[in-house]
Structure 1
C-alpha cells in the first residue's frame, strides 16, 4: 500500500503539525479547512512552525521552502478525491467526526484509507459512519506533531489486515515510533496518563497535600518532566475533562469520573495555559516563611542514622528529648506516634528520589513540629513536601496505581510491554516506561504498596493486578518478554 498524496482535514495547531510531518516525510499534502479565515490561520501555523524549526537548526531554510511547497491548501473537500490517505484533525466531538467521515467516504476513491487523529473517542464508532469500515483506522499524533516521536495506530475489530502494517510503515517513514493498540478509550498514553492526573486532583481535594507540594513530589521525587497540575494546565483542563468523561463512559470506573475541582475550573472557563489561568495563574508569589527555632532532633526508623548524620553536619544536635522527633516512615506514622508520651512532636519523613522528603503529619502532630521538620529538610538540601498520614503519602499513592493500570493493560492483551513502555516514554517524556519503573522499584515493593492503598481506600483498582501478585509470589523480579 503506497501513500504518496495525503489529505489533512482541520488545520488547527494539531492538524497543521500533522500536515507538516507528512510534508517533511516527502509526501504531497492537501490541507483542508472550512473557510478562508480558518485556512489563513492554518497557513500561519505552518509558516510559524517551520520557521521555528529553521531558527533552532532543525530544518534548513531551503528545505523549509520545499516542505511548504509540498502542501496545497484548500477549502474544498472535493480536492481530496485522489488522496491515498486522509487524516481528520477536527475537534473531539463524535458527531462532527462521524459526519466528516461519512462525507469523505463519498468523495474519496474506494481504496483510500481514512484515519482519525482522535485522542480518546471510539474509532469503531467513527468507522461505522462510513461504507468502508475496514479502511478506517486511528492515527493519533502527539502535540507538537513535528517534535513528538510517537504515533498510536489504533485498529478496530473490522480493520482490514493490510491497513495496520501499512500505517506502521508510514509512521516509520515519517520518523515516528508506532505503537499499535486496540480501540479502547484513551488508547495507551491517555488511558494511563489521565487517571493519574485525575487522581492527583482528587488527592488535593481530599487535603492529602497541596498543589505545589504534589507537583514538586512528582517532578523532583518521581523524576517526571512536570508535576500533574503543571501538565494539566499545559494539556488544557477542558481536554482533560473530556477525555476523563470518555474513559468513565467506557469503564464506569469511579476513578475515571472527573474530579469535582476539574469540573469547576472548566465550568469557570479556567482552562490552563490556553486561557491564562487554570490550576496556576494570577496568583501572588508566596512569601518565604521565617526559619524555625528547632535546635535538637532525633530520628527513628530504617535509614535514620544517615539522616541524623546529615543534620548533625548541618549543626543540629541529636537528643533523647528533642524539639522534634523524625520517624522514617515505613507504615502509618500514627502507629508510632501513639506509642510516645508526647506524640505531637513526631513527624514522619519519607525520602523520595534523593531530592524530596515527604513530611508527614498525623492527627496528633503539632503545626510547630511539622514546620520544624520541613525546615530541617531544607537545611540538608531536600525539598519538603507536606502531606497527611495516608497510605502511599503522595508519590507512591500516585505512582503505584498508574503502574498497576499498565500491568492490567498488558495482562488483558491490549498491548505488549515494550510498546506500552515506548508509548509512555515518547508520548509523555517520562524517563522510563511503567514496566521499567516497576522493575526498578521492585515488583514486591509495588505489590505491597498497592495492598496498603487498597486496605485504606477500598478502591478495587488499587488491588494488585493478578499477574503482579503471581510474579511476586513466584519470586520473579522481571516481567516475561517474548
Structure 2
C-alpha cells in the first residue's frame, strides 16, 4: 500500500519534527493534539523549525510554505479516519499509549498502519491492545527528527509479514537510514547507550573520577560528541532513569539496575536541562589548570623514553631523586608503587589517544604528587583526568563494556554488525560504530581489558562475549561480515 496521508498524534518537539519529515517528503500530514493550547504549541514548533532552516538557507520561502501547507492541524482524532499510517508521539507512559492505540483502532480504516515512536517501551503490549496487532509497528525517530538520519523499525511476533520492510522502504523515502529489529527493551540505541551512561554515574558514585573529568575523558579521549553527564542532563535524568528501569525489568541484569545517584537526583527533581540542574547546574567557572609544581621527574614503564623526552623538552629533566615518579602502562599501579623507595610519589599515567592522560592515584599516592603529575600533563598539552587505581581507569571502564554489549547483541542474532554500527553513528553522533571501534583499538586489547574488569568487579556482563573471545583466539582483527 502507498502511504499518501499520514497522521501524527502528539505535536511536542518530537512529534512536530516527525510531521515535518513527512511533509518535507511531499506527504500530506494530519497533526493531532489534545487541546487548542497544545495545538498552538505544535504549530509554533513547526514554524520555528522550518524558519531556522529558511534562515540557514536550507529551505527557500516557497519550499517552507509548501511544507507547512501539507500539514493540517486538528484536535479531533476522528480526522485520522482515512489516514494510511498514524505515528504516535505522546509521552513515554505505556498506559497512555495503550489507550490511544485502542482509540485509533476504533477510528482508523482496517488497513491503516499504527506506529509508535516509543524509544524503549514494549511495542507488543501496544499492539495487543488493538484488534489489528499485525498492523502495529515501532517507528522510532531520533530528536531532532528533521536532522537525525536513523529510524529504528520495530516488529513484533504479531507483525504482518513484509510490513517492517515496507516501513523501512518508507523511511528511506524520507531520507532516513532504517534499522529493522525485534521488540526488545531499548531496541539498539538505548539498549547500548543507556547502560554506558548509567555506568558513568556508578563510577562517579564510587569516587573513581569526578564528573567533569569523566566527560573530558570520553569527549577528548574517545571523540564522542558529549560526555556522559552532559548527555544525561540533555536527555533528562527522569527519562534515563525510566529507560534503565525498562531494561532492568526485562533483563534483571545488574548492569541495567539504575545507579542510586540517578534515582536520588530524579527524586529531588533535579532532572537536567529541563529543570535547570542535574549532574550539572549553576556553578562558578572552573579554576585554571594547575601549573607543574614538580621540577624533577622520573618516568618508568612502556613508552617511558618518549614521555621523558617530551618532558625534558619542556624543561623537566629526569632525576634519581624525583619529586614525582610517573608510571606508564596498565594497572594495578599500586604493584609498581610498593616497589619504589617512596610510593607516595608514584603516580600512574595512562595515555588515551593524543589528547588525554589518565592520572592514576593509588592508596599511597600523596595529593601533592597527583597534583604535580596533572600539572606536567597540562604542560605537555594533554588533558589530565585524575582517577583512582581501578580496572580500566575511566575510558576503558566505560567504553569496553559498551563494546561488549554490542558484540553480545549481534551474537544473539538481534541485529547485524552493519545495523548496530549505523545505529550508534547515526543515532548518537558517534565517530564510529562499536564494531569499528573494536577493530580500531584491537580485539585483543578489548578482550583483555574486559577480563581485567571482570576480575575486579565480578560483574557477569563484563565477561568477554564468546564471539569476541573466539575472534582473538583465531587471530582475527576484524569481525566476519556477510
TM-score bracket relative to the smaller structure: over 0.9
What residue is the counterpart of 1:113 in the other structure?
113
Q: Any residues of structure 2 matched to 1:426-437 within 5 Å, and which?
A: 426-437=426-437
SS in 1 for 2:265: helix
Give how far 1:364 is off: 0.4
What residue is the counterpart of 2:99 in the other structure?
99
Give how far 1:276 is off: 1.3
More moved, 86-95 vs 468-477: 468-477
Q: Note if contact 2:138-2:153 (Cα within 8 Å) is conserved in structure 1.
A: yes
More moved, 356-365 vs 277-286: 277-286
Q: Note if contact 1:209-1:387 (Cα within 8 Å) is conserved in structure 2.
A: yes
More moved, 119-128 vs 154-163: 154-163
Q: Note if contact 2:118-2:138 (Cα within 8 Å) is conserved in structure 1.
A: yes
What residue is the counterpart of 2:38 in the other structure?
38
What residue is the counterpart of 2:275 in the other structure?
275
Q: Note if contact 2:290-2:375 (Cα within 8 Å) is conserved in structure 1.
A: no
Q: Following the alignment from structure 2 to structure 1, what is the Cα–Cα distance between the partners of residues 331 and 456?
A: 12
* Superposed CA offset, 1:58-109 (max 9, x none): 1111100000000000000000000000000000000000000000001111
Q: Following the alignment from structure 2 to structure 1, what is the Cα–Cα distance between the partners of residues 395 and 57?
A: 38
The TM-score, its normalising length taken from structure 2, stands at 0.99
* Consecutive unaligned residues in structure 1, runs of 5 or more: none
Q: Note if contact 1:223-1:353 (Cα within 8 Å) is conserved in structure 2.
A: no
* Superposed CA offset, 1:151-172 (max 9, x none): 0000111111121111011101
What residue is the counterpart of 2:401 in the other structure?
401
Q: Any residues of structure 2 matched to 1:301-316 within 5 Å, and which?
A: 301-316=301-316
Give how far 1:429 is off: 0.2
Give how far 1:125 is off: 0.5
Give how far 1:281 is off: 1.4
SS in 2 for 1:386: strand
Give how far 1:290 is off: 4.9
Q: Note if contact 1:17-1:146 (Cα within 8 Å) is conserved in structure 2.
A: yes
What residue is the counterpart of 1:352 in the other structure?
352
* Consecutive unaligned residues in structure 2, runs of 5 or more: none
Query: Is 1:13 paired with 2:13?
Result: yes
Query: Is 1:451 paired with 2:451?
Result: yes
Count of residue pairs the alignment pairs up: 482
Pick closer, same or farther for the CA change 1:8–1:259 going to 2, 3 Å.
same
Query: Is 1:161 paired with 2:164?
Result: no
SS in 2 for 1:109: coil
Query: Is 1:318 paired with 2:328?
Result: no
What residue is the counterpart of 1:329 in the other structure?
329
Q: Following the alignment from structure 1 to structure 2, what is the Cα–Cα distance between the partners of residues 416 and 293?
A: 51
* Superposed CA offset, 1:127-157 (max 9, x none): 0000000000000000000000000000111
Pick closer, same or farther for the CA change 1:200–1:60 going to 2, 3 Å.
same
The TM-score, its normalising length taken from structure 1, stands at 0.99
Q: Following the alignment from structure 1 to structure 2, what is the Cα–Cα distance between the partners of residues 67 and 237?
A: 34
* Superposed CA offset, 1:348-369 (max 9, x none): 0001011000000000001000
RMSD over equivalenced CA pairs, Å: 0.8
More moved, 374-383 vs 49-58: 49-58
Q: Following the alignment from structure 1 to structure 2, what is the Cα–Cα distance between the partners of residues 429 and 117?
A: 20
What residue is the counterpart of 1:181 in the other structure?
181
* Superposed CA offset, 1:265-310 (max 9, x none): 1112111111111111111123336534311101111111111111
Q: Note if contact 2:331-2:389 (Cα within 8 Å) is conserved in structure 1.
A: no
